[in-house]
Structure 1
């Protein structure tokens, strides 16, 4: 949902913007096959009831519909996403990272596919134009693992602990699935005050889970 809102915002911004996806696992310790659903996972993680977890998810479903995104939490298959991240990194080497990321997200949130399963990932990769044999060989190896871990280490150094998280110029951050209007206002403010092509400095500004803080002169 945050990704879609950002994409909608970029269409309204009169400035060239390049979006680069980075790997991030909410729980790197997750098993490939998980014997519980998203509601049980949320209830355990946040100390809430199953009913409250379902209510929160239903709210997300309705918000997602507002931007043309379909979430199906009832049938969502939880899994370890490390191999899915490796696949997106491989797709990046073929110039198809955006397409692969979009396909995996739709498979996970909308189609309830098992994105930890290699056969599923291979079929998704072929759909976006990747070579079946090359993908199969890559997934069977440890290829792209270092690239994924490097992204995760970078996220740790920036103090990123949740998604979605949008880092602009490695300096300014927008946290959470903010409204499209917030993205537009935030990006335009950064462009006006700092310029997206300006040399980076070390004193970055960031946002918390409640929103973003725009730099002031």
Structure 2
């Protein structure tokens, strides 16, 4: 079985959904037959200067709600993350463009480290306050998961993996994907959002039986 997951590194529901899906996969009797591949999806392609604003103000401005409402919504997300073992630090978030992070994740995928790097980027951004758009920070995290940094930098200079990012996003558009996370199982079944592990497990079992 192949599971394709469209997500972005600054999406709190993507990290939450990835963890819940992982919990479901641990309970899936045929997990050894599952291949998971993360796909690129940029939520923040039209980069805006957020200097001087915390995440609550950014969300309030984006959706036209009060600062207090935005904070309440974010607090609920932090609590939901905590319930599955994730320590979200919204007070440390550094929102930035994720294009470079996606390029690096495409490189990591090509050398068999894609899933490991995606999880490291998520943790670095949401739990450690790292700047997901800063090249040196991304290279440091890449080195931590064992990537060849010299080779990676050569590939980045030639934009070798820029095309793959575009192809993932074009495929998402053809599938009608306009929000993430989005899980596609064997090109037949889809699960949208950070669903509970039980929901993911049911989807996996139905897809496998089919």
Q: Same fold (TM over 0.5)?
A: yes
CA distance in 1, matches of 2:84, 2:157: 37
Work out which of the residue numbers 155, 165, 171 in structure 2 matches 1:138: 155
Do 2:93 and 2:125's aligned partners in 1 also have CA atoms closer than 8 Å? yes
Match of 1:56 among 54, 68, 73: 73
Asked if the contact 1:115/1:121 (under 8 Å) is kept, the reply is yes
2:189 to 142, 165, 172: 172
Partner of 2:97: 80
Q: SS at the partner of 1:160?
A: coil
Please give the alpha-carbon distance, in whole angstroms, between the structure 2 residues aligned to 1:37 and 1:161: 25
Q: Point out the structure with the larger strand share.
A: 2
The residue correspondences of 1:13-52 to structure 2 (distance < 5 A) are 13-15=28-30, 16-31=33-48, 34-35=50-51, 36-52=53-69
Q: Are the equivalent residues in 1 in contact too, given 2:78–2:88 (CA < 8 A)?
A: yes
**Contact preservation (8 Å) 1:125, 1:135:** no
State the distance in 1 between where 2:131 and 2:78 align. Answer: 20
Whole-angstrom distance in 2 between the partners of 1:22 and 1:37: 28
Structure 2 regions of 5+ residues with no counterpart?
Answer: 1-15
Residues 165, 174 of structure 1: 8 Å contact kept:
yes
Superposed displacement of residue 53, structure 1: 0.9
Q: Structure 1, residues 77-106: CA drift from partner, whole Å, max 9, x if none?
A: 000000000000011111110111111111
DSSP-derived class of the 2:75 partner: helix
Higher helix proportion (structure 1 or 2):
2
Cα RMSD (Å): 1.4
In the alignment, which residue of structure 1 is the partner of 2:18?
A: 3
C-alpha distance in structure 2 between counterparts of 1:40 and 1:59, whole Å: 16
* 2: CA distance, partners of 1:37 / 1:82: 21
* Higher relative contact order (CA closer than 8 Å, sequence separation 6+): 2
In the alignment, does 2:93 pair up with 1:71? no
Distance 1:73 1:140 in 2: 32
Q: Distance in 2 between matches of 1:29 and 1:187?
A: 35
1:38 Cα deviation (Å)?
A: 2.0
Equivalent pair of 1:30/1:80 in contact (CA under 8 Å)? yes
> Once the two structures are superposed, what CA deviation does each residue of 1:36-81 show, in whole Å capped at 9, x if it has no partner?
3321221122221111111111111111111111111111000000
How far apart in 2 are the matches of 1:140 and 1:53? Answer: 39
CA positional deviation for 1:7: 0.6
Bigger Cα Rg: 1
SS in 2 for 1:22: strand
